[in-house]
């Protein structure tokens, strides 16, 4: 599924993380990839994250899995069903992501799908990440307000971070295929207009500085020996024993900066951390490990390698001769003869050919559940 008549570079330069943009049906031929009853079926599954939001002055939230007969009693107004990571379960929904490959893969979170009855919505809120809101079927009215932050007043609610005050400055009604981009921090509110309102939310991850510092520091600290401690063999008598001297502070600060300033260590850690699956329970690991002969035979028959939609892939060029491939939190050091395959598998959902030198890596990824052999 691809975007047409859409200037990707112009969008990145003029709108990405800068201001909202309404894009009227930029698809070559938009077809809603999911039906309402299929989405409802996913909400019944215990391994799939879902929420049912019932409208009103104080919205009520029910977390899935939902009972099969729950939808029979909801009526025709003021409720919304939200299902996370539908792209992990429905290939046609996963295909939506191919339109957004001009943004690095490691930034993509998942595709959340919502179905709302007339008047249904989450309520005014803002997100800490970029999101594209694609109208799948029916209509939804979207309102955009000002930029918010942690200091913005919220309504008291245990499950929803709703804004206490919301003043829309722009408003549109989206039809099937229309898309609205909302940068981080911009307040917005969506309300279903009529029945059969389905919306696809393509969200993008953005680690906070606090998360990076805390997680990387914890990673480094776990590897440091107990014997790596502050020392002061050149200590001299101080005029005031209560003072922490500049020399001591310089040494202590240097210990911290040296530890977290290791760029190679950061690269390895971040590649692994950024590819940890959000939903690792979606496991493609074969019951019986695939042998090298089975892999070669499958490829010879014309089978393709396909990626587990729940797996995350990324790579870093370590040098001209080596590439680090990161898959589901693991590092695979790839030499020059495997680097091109590693870079291909990190970018494409389906791999048609596997060079001889990369067969061992492909076998490892199949047996880890990140790849599988499939018909073309």
**Domain locations along the chain:** 8-204, 209-261, 292-374
Token duo for residue 142: 């979207």
Residue 199's CB is within 10 A of a number of other CB atoms, namely: 24
Domain 8-204 matching CATH 2.60.120.650: the answer reads yes
Place of tokens 């790579």: 315
Token duo for residue 265: 């260590």
CA Rg value for the chain? 25
**Sign of the CA dihedral running 223, 227, 230, 232:** negative
Asked if pLDDT for residue 216 goes beyond 90, the answer is yes
pTM for this prediction: 0.90
Burial label for 190, CB within 10 Å (0-12, 13-18, 19+), is: buried
State the virtual CA torsion across 182, 184, 190, 196 in degrees, nearest 10: 70
Packing angle of the helix pair 209-223, 246-260 (nearest 10 deg): 90
pLDDT in tens, 18-52: 999 999 999 988 999 999 999 999 999 999 999 99
pLDDT in tens, 64-100: 999 989 998 888 899 999 999 999 999 999 999 999 9
pLDDT in tens, 132-152: 999 999 999 999 999 999 999
Cα–Cα dist 52/79, whole Å: 7
Residue 128's CB is within 10 A of a number of other CB atoms, namely: 12
Token duo for residue 112: 């959340």
Asked if pLDDT for residue 58 goes beyond 80, the answer is no
The per-residue pLDDT for 83 is 97
Place of tokens 């970029």: 130
Place of tokens 């997100």: 127
How big is the chain, counted in residues? Answer: 376
| Least confident among 22-31, 54-63, 212-221 | 54-63
Asked if pLDDT for residue 57 goes beyond 80, the answer is no
User: Whose CA is closest to 44, among 24, 76, 75, 67?
Assistant: 67
Q: Which are the contacts of 132, defined by CB distance < 8 A and separation ≥ 6?
A: 100, 179, 180, 181, 201, 202
Q: What architecture is the 292-374 domain classified under in CATH? A: 3-Layer(aba) Sandwich (3.40)
Tell me how far the alpha carbon of residue 207 is from its chain's centroid: 11
Q: Which are the contacts of 219, defined by CB distance < 8 A and separation ≥ 6?
A: 269, 273
pLDDT in tens, 148-193: 999 999 988 777 889 999 999 999 999 999 999 999 999 999 999 9
Q: Which are the contacts of 168, defined by CB distance < 8 A and separation ≥ 6?
A: 143, 144, 145, 189
Asked if pLDDT for residue 252 goes beyond 90, the answer is yes
The per-residue pLDDT for 29 is 87
pLDDT in tens, 304-350: 999 999 999 999 998 767 899 999 999 999 999 999 999 999 999 89
Burial label for 196, CB within 10 Å (0-12, 13-18, 19+), is: middle
Place of tokens 């799908």: 113
Instruction: Work out the percent of the chain whose per-residue pLDDT is above 70.
Output: 99
């Amino acid at each position: 599924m691809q975007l047409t008549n859409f200037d990707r570079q112009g969008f990145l330069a003029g709108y990405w993380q800068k201001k909202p943009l309404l894009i009227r049906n930029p698809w070559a031929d938009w077809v809603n990839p999911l039906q309402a009853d299929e989405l409802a079926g996913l909400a019944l599954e215990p391994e799939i994250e879902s929420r049912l939001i019932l409208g009103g002055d104080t919205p009520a939230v029910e977390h899935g899995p939902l009972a099969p007969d729950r939808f029979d009693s909801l009526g025709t107004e003021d409720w919304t069903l939200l299902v996370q990571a539908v792209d992990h379960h429905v290939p046609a929904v996963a295909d939506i992501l191919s339109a957004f490959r001009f943004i690095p893969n490691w930034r993509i979170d998942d595709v959340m799908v919502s179905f709302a009855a007339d008047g249904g919505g989450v309520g005014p809120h803002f997100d800490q990440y970029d999101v594209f809101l694609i109208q799948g079927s029916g209509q939804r009215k979207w309102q955009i307000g000002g930029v918010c932050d942690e200091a913005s007043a919220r309504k008291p609610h245990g499950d929803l971070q709703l804004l206490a005050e919301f003043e829309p400055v722009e408003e549109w009604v989206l039809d099937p295929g229309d898309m609205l981009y909302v940068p981080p921090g911009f307040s917005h509110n969506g309300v279903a207009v009529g029945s059969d309102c389905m919306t696809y939310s393509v969200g993008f991850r953005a680690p906070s500085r606090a998360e990076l510092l805390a997680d990387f520091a914890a990673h480094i600290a776990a590897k440091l020996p107990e014997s790596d401690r502050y020392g002061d063999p050149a200590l001299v008598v101080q005029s005031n024993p209560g003072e922490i001297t500049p020399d001591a502070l310089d040494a202590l600060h240097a210990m911290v900066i040296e530890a977290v300033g290791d760029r190679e260590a950061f690269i390895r850690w971040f590649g692994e951390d950024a590819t940890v699956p959000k939903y690792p329970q979606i496991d493609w690991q074969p019951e019986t490990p695939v042998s090298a002969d089975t892999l070669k035979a499958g490829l010879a028959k014309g089978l393709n390698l396909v990626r587990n939609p729940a797996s995350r892939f990324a790579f870093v060029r370590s040098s001209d001769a080596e590439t680090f491939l990161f898959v589901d939190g693991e590092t695979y050091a790839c030499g020059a003869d495997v680097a091109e395959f590693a870079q291909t598998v990190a970018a494409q959902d389906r791999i048609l050919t596997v060079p001889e030198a990369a067969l061992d890596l492909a076998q490892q990824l199949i047996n880890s559940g990140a790849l599988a052999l499939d018909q073309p």
